[in-house]
Chains A and B, each alone.
Chain A
Amino acid sequence: MIDGRRRQAFAPREQRLLDSLQATGPRYYALVGGLVAIILWGLIAYGVQLRYGLGVTGLRDNFMWGVYITNFVFFIGVSHVGALMSAILRLTGAEWRRPITRMAEAITFASLLMGALMPFVDMGRPDRILNLLLHGRLQSPILWDIMSITTYLTGSTLFLYVPMIPDIALLREHYARGPAWRRRLYTILALGWRGTPGQKHQLETIIGVLAVLIIPVAISVHTVVSWIMAMTLRAGWNSTIFGPYFVSGALFSGAAAVITAMAAFRWAYHLEDYITVRHFKRMGYLLIALGLIYAYFTFNEYWTPLYKLATHERGYLSAVVSGPYARIFWFTQIGGLLVPVLLLTLPTISWVPRLQSAPLLQPRPALAALAATLGLRVFVSSSGSPAAALGDVAALRALLPWVLTAAGIWLFVALLPFFRARPIAAAVVASLLVNVGAWLKRFVIIVPTLQYPFLPIRRAPVGWAVYRPTWVEWSITAAALAGFALIYILFSKLFPIVSIWETREERGTEASAGEVAHAPVP
């Protein structure tokens, strides 16, 4: 009976949220099982690496850092936005933030754990890890990294936990008759929260202080991460803007990760009442703004040395812009930056629905047009008979990029009406692209520079002059991604992924100050 009455204290959408804490099914177990399997596989790979040494990776003397450090920078970057965004939105009193702050903060927590793991995976002598404490030297950026990451991890964990206390108290009541472990967990974590005005006042003060403190900490963390490269003399790393450049990239990829998480939880836990299209639109605007800032820094970072073409910088610059790394680099710029921004902006244009009736966007005429163009090109470039040109494999291969580009543009334009009708799908595709691009961009920052040191790579044993990651590195990377997802999912099974008490308050403010809550969406 008591339980029944208590249940009624929750609004329907809150009830659904609470149910998500327990709802499991075959799909849930399949997902968790799959993640655990990937993690186990990664552990086996790490075991192999421990046994035989880092020689089982593609790393060699010239490429002393690779995928692991890429993962490190990537995860720390993704971790960036959660706490930072939530702090800024809290401080500025943006009401729409309420259903998503906890998701964002939990991303910080999960990806920071994975990011912090990576340097240890990368260590040649993990057995000597204590030397960092016994013989640590303050002038090494690695020590700065350790200090800033532990500070950030502590700060962001608190920042995740403190605003959760009233909800944990709610759960304590809710599970008063539930399983013992849950009861005990929530009782301990609720810290005796009763919701008295005094407690509420304290809570709000602490959240406010934490929100202010976490901003400089978050910014400093990624700055320091960039310094493990920027503090060296290597052309391509020796850059004064690496700090802000990395911070902007981190914010961009982190905001994208939040969008992905929002969509995933909305779909999995049926949170449509909490996370609305409005939220995706707002986050989309944020992503556009952050993307433009990031593009500005990227342009600065590459254009200034490109203009000067100083001796030592030529190597990595040409490798990135037109050499072996050009494909990855341009993918990060077009697929990971331009297309996502276009995806978030173009579908809102009023004439997009009319595209559907454009004949050239129908598959068959489009294919015909493409084939005709290509035929013309082959004919012109061979300036002989078309048949001879078709037999020329090299000519065909040269055409491939053009075909792909044309098909890509066609697909993009043809899909615009679809994305106009489904803004959430647009936001998710954009954010996934951003994250793939973000990982690859970190790779392009780290590896090409190593290919072009001051003294050219000479007399390296066969295979040491190029970097090819091995299955060990990929397995551990997959395991890290799986670990991130698993921590996140388990978190959402322990605590409501949307803040109950904060979204309750939102309803109050919306009623009283509707103008603010519904400020016109640009």
Chain B
Amino acid sequence: MLTRRTFLRTLAAGAATLVPLGGGRFLRRLPLGRRSPVPALVAAPTVDRTLVELNGLTGGAGAAAVAYAASPPQPTGPGIPGRRWVMVIDLARCDGCRECTRACQGMHFTPAGQEWIRVYELRDNEVAAPYWFPRPCMQCDNAPCVKVCPVSAAWKREDGIVMQDTSRCIGCRFCIAACPYGARSFNWVQPPETEAQQSLPYSDEWNQRHRKGTTEKCIFCPGLVKEGRLPACVAACPMGAIYFGDQEEDAVTNSQGETVRFSELIRQNAGYRFLEELGTEPRVYYLPPRKRVYPAPPDEPQPATRGVHP
């Protein structure tokens, strides 16, 4: 029977005969001939360079589309073992104050024009109520950006975070074209840096220094998470609208110290994922904007070019 996996493997076998450029490493690593649970086209980078399978994904994805890295991008390694980070954004609590955006900008010194977590005013149709919609990177498990990156500068960690290696990115912007959520930004010029910023090292985990001609995005603040703290936006939300946690542990926490069962939270509140129909398998869930305790955004969404950046 032709399953998705065997299909992909056949595809890869065919592609492998095409004398790929720089494919030597790829060929050596192809799980052909050996029974591998990972589709041949999407292998995961790990420190010991073995293939891993990400089991139990919701939505029947089977195995995640994970970056194949010729050499694991430095220095973050495969992520924190045994964890699968997840974010839940309660739209019923978000009042559009944009504290999350500001906290992110403060944490990462995001260059002008970039909002790694952007708060949209959305309205699904003319009858529906308008609502605020914070959009971080969804850290997709079947990530379009990771698929198309030619050099695995966009790559997927085992713990679910889609990382961005700005020391490897060639600036082709294919990932920006591929991301359906508009979560990626490009450094069109060398962003000016403050002195405080310049004293910091270049680090993929912290993303506080920025390079001209490379792509960047929200990465769930792996530096903070490693220290057991919440990502900057989550900690900054005055409404406690953003929860962050580990899906394996089934617990998520918000800025007000509420720790709840992730699965319960989603089930009780009819949680959903944005653009589920695209099959990107996001790691960010939303709770619908029901029974709100704050004023809704203006009926007329802002025109495209309004909204000035710091």
Contacts and interface: CB of A to CB of B under 8 A. Distances in A.
B188 A53 contact: yes
B21 interface: yes
Contacts, number: 197
Nearest to B309: A461
Contact of B213 (A125, A141, A150, A456): A125
A453 B302 CA distance: 16
B71 to A, nearest CB: 7
Nearest to B211: A125
A469 to B, nearest CB: 14
A128 B148 contact: no
Between A65, A137, A229, A456, the greatest number of chain B beta carbons within 10 A of the residue's beta carbon is seen for: A137
Nearest to B279: A233
Given A124-B171, A147-B20, A463-B305, A140 B188 contact: no
B213 A142 contact: no
Interface in B94-119: 112-115, 118-119
Contact of A147 (B21, B151, B307): B21
Interface stretch (A55-63, A195-203, A329-337, A347-355): A55-63
Interface in B170-184: 170-174, 176-178, 180-182, 184
Contacts of B15: 138
Contacts of B113: 60-61, 460-461, 464
Contacts of A466: 305
Interface string B144-176: 100111111100000000000000111111101
Given A59-B188, A131-B170, A138 B151 contact: no
Given A232-B177, A455-B181, A139 B147 contact: yes
Size class of the contact patch on chain B: 35 or more
A485 B190 CA distance: 35
A61 to B, nearest CB: 5
Interface residues of A, number: 54
B27 to A, nearest CB: 9
A132 B170 contact: yes
A131 B306 CA distance: 38
Nearest to A133: B22
Contacts of B189: 52-55
Chain A contact surface mostly: loop
A461 B177 contact: no
Interface string B199-218: 00000000000001111000
Contacts of A93: none
B187 A129 contact: no
A134 B70 contact: yes
Contact of A134 (B22, B112, B188): B22
Given A61-B185, A135-B71, A143 B150 contact: yes
Interface string B269-310: 000000100101000000000000000000001101111110
Interface in B54-112: 67-71, 112
Contact of B178 (A53, A123, A232): A232
Nearest to B125: A311
A62 B188 contact: no
Contact of A461 (B112, B122, B184): B112
B20 A138 contact: yes
B12 to A, nearest CB: 8
A55 B182 CA distance: 19
10 contacts: A123-B213, A138-B20, A143-B20, A458-B301, A459-B306, A460-B307, A461-B112, A464-B113, A464-B305, A465-B304
Interface of A: 52-55, 59-62, 64-65, 119, 122-125, 128-129, 131-143, 146-147, 150, 228-229, 231-234, 450, 453-466
